[in-house]
Amino acid sequence: MQVLKAEVARLRGALESRPASDPPLNDETSVRRRRVEELEAEVAELRKRPEPAVVGKPLEPVPPERIDAEVARSTAVALDPSRPAAERVKALEDLRFYGRISPEVAAAMLRIFETSAESAVRADVLRHLHRSLPLGLAATVLRALQSDPERKVREEAAETLGPLRDDPSIRVALEHAAQNDPDLDVRAQALKSLSPKRR
């Protein structure tokens, strides 16, 4: 609706700002005038429609005990080696949502990362560890940035290492990737991760 109003106003302004001494309307001006009329008709039609109603009740805050229960359940799944990798990575995603990834969970996820042949799983693990990677576990992610064969995994590694960029070895690795990685997206992400604005 707002886009239509803006387009009508723009076209009307263009027509009205024509000097009076202009030659008679050409085909392009006629087309514009017709388009303004069509847009005005559409706006008028939209104004006749009722405003959409808000469906459902307002969202209520989730009780802390429910969050704690969800975090405990997701932590148990993430740490359970008998569960499929996809299920454990989904549990990691849930823990990221709550901002409750423990170092123990991070270590377990990096073991999945190191053993998975699926690049999508490796990339997902790194993405969900962003801002939750303990410095003591960064070596695995550094190796991924330097040598993983998949572009997306190296890109996620560069982003995940960003919050740890003040560590000298991580800064050197990011600088090297920003200059030398064969993929433009990885170089760009490494450069962003080096920026102090990226927190």
Task: Enumerate the domain spans of the chain.
Answer: 2-17+27-47, 64-194
Task: Average pLDDT across each block of 10 residues of the chain; the chain has 199 residues. List them in order.
Answer: 66 63 60 80 71 61 90 97 96 95 98 96 97 97 97 97 97 97 97 78
Neighbours of 76 (CB within 10 A): 11
Listed in sequence order, the residues at least 6 apart from 118 whose beta carbon sits closer than 8 Å to its beta carbon are: 85
Instruction: State the architecture of 64-194 in CATH terms.
Output: Alpha Horseshoe (1.25)
The pLDDT score that the predictor gives to residue 148 is 97
pLDDT of residue 24: 53
Task: Please state the pTM of the whole predicted model.
Answer: 0.69
DSSP letters for the chain: -HHHHHHHHHHHHHHHTS-TTSPSP-HHHHHHHHHHHHHHHHHHHHHHSPPPPPPSPPPPPPPHHHHHHHHHHHHHHHH-TTS-HHHHHHHHHHHHHHT---HHHHHHHHHHHHH---HHHHHHHHHHTTTT--GGGHHHHHHHHHH-S-HHHHHHHHHHHGGGTTSHHHHHHHHHHHHH-SSHHHHHHHHHHHSTT--
| Structure tokens given for 144 | 């991924």
Query: What single letter denotes the amino acid at residue 89?
Result: V
